[in-house]
Structure 1
Amino acid sequence: MTTKLETLELALQTALGEGAVISSALGEVTVVVKAADYLAAMLTLRDDPALKFDQLLDLCGVDYSTYGEGAWDGLRFAAVSHLLSLDYNWRVRVRVFAPDDEMPLVASIAGIWRSANWYEREAFDLYGILFEGHNDLRRILTDYGFIGHPFRKDFPISGYVEMRYDPEQKRVIYQPVTIEPREIIPRVIREETYGMK
């Protein structure tokens, strides 16, 4: 007797073929597709009658540059989507890696699921992932004058610029960050009999 998870894996393998790497762990199925096959795979996941993934629950960017404590040697940026099929009551995670780390670019799926619009804007804003075909790819969380992408692993913790109100100019100004980096080591005080009664 096959489980629901095995049925889903078989349906995914049949629909997507050899262009996708399908794995399962902890009761969740993950599909990894190449950037060139991403748009076609997502259309298949939505339209195939054996799958019917009609809802995009989430899409986020991921920076794998320090994944596995620096042991990762694959591509750096990925867009990860979570899909739901209401008819079959199953979920799948789809991961696509951008082939170029200097200019991460993958196809937009906003034309397939309208909810991808703001998710893709967020991934662009925070990670710098570009979505080809997105009709309004602009910042959504940071200011329009913001420099860089704050969720990238190489983004400085203090940022590049700071914003403050200047009473002489009577307006908000941007200036280079003036925080001096320092390490704070917490002081731990323990009683000799802590936890013993």
Structure 2
Amino acid sequence: MSHSIQTLEAALHDVLGSKVKLLESALGELTLTVSAADYHGVCQTLRDDARLGFEQLMDLCGLDYSGYKDGAHSKFTDGPRFAVVSHLLSVTHNWRLRVRVFAVSEDVPVVASVNDLWNSANWFEREAFDLFGIVFEGHLDLRRLLTDYGFVGHPFRKDFPTSGHVEMRYDAEQKRVVYQPVTIEPREITPRIIREDNYGGTH
């Protein structure tokens, strides 16, 4: 572990105290796990406390932990399935931190929005809402970002069918795009292997 990571680890424990639910070090990076109730407050402290100074949110994404390593994640989760991971950068201290929070409910996963802390969270949170169905409480414009308004479901969830729920086509009679149930029959495609004599050999 590098000196800067050790310094950051000590600062996180010192500043956040009992709000540190889990702090893991792997591959030269720290991952801080906090509860959903503490998430927004911890993020604000990470940004504003001079000992930490995480001025920038570089990335934010959703995760679906269902079936992950046969439930190995359950040792630190509040809920069984959905999480949000943020990647923070401190330009002042030249260090990075990964922050993870688990949504308490699986049926309606909700975590606080951090868009009021970092403007860059806006589209990241909209993407996680669109693809995973994670609701960011306090986000002022939580709309789908990558799929269209008539899209059914959230395509990055592990239980989402590979062919989707509906398909769209242009209806010439109605002169508009219409949605209809998927008519694609799933099938297994096995590649055909053709072996030729002297393939790759010298001539």
TM interval, shorter chain, is over 0.9
Aligned ranges 1:60-99 → 2 under 5 Å? 60-68=61-69, 70-72=70-72, 74=74, 75-99=80-104
- Choose which of 151, 173, 176 in structure 2 pairs with 1:171: 176
What number of residue pairs does the alignment pair up? Answer: 196
Amino acid at match of 1:46: R
- Choose which of 137, 150, 157 in structure 1 pairs with 2:155: 150
Per the normalisation by structure 1, the TM-score is 0.92
Answer whether contact 1:64 1:72 (CA < 8 A) is retained.
no
Q: Find the aligned partners of 2:33 and 2:122 in 1 and give their Cα distance.
A: 21
Amino acid at match of 2:19: G
After superposition, the C-alpha distances for 1:175-196 in whole angstroms (9 at most, x for unaligned) are 1111001111223456798899
Q: Return 5+ residue gaps in structure 1 as ranges.
A: none
Q: Return 5+ residue gaps in structure 2 as ranges.
A: 75-79
Per the normalisation by structure 2, the TM-score is 0.90
Amino acid at match of 1:51: L
Amino acid at match of 1:12: L
Aligned ranges 1:38-187 → 2 under 5 Å? 38-68=39-69, 70-72=70-72, 74=74, 75-187=80-192
% identical equivalent positions: 64
Q: Find the aligned partners of 2:193 and 2:9 in 1 and give their Cα distance.
A: 50
The corresponding residue for 1:34 is 35
Answer whether contact 1:65 1:72 (CA < 8 A) is retained.
no
After superposition, the C-alpha distances for 1:114-165 in whole angstroms (9 at most, x for unaligned) are 1111111110010000111111111111111111001000000000100111
Q: Find the aligned partners of 1:195 and 1:7 in 2 and give their Cα distance.
A: 57
Q: Find the aligned partners of 2:27 and 2:198 in 1 and give their Cα distance.
A: 41
Deviating above 6 A after TM superposition, structure 1's stretches of 4 or more consecutive aligned residues are 191-197
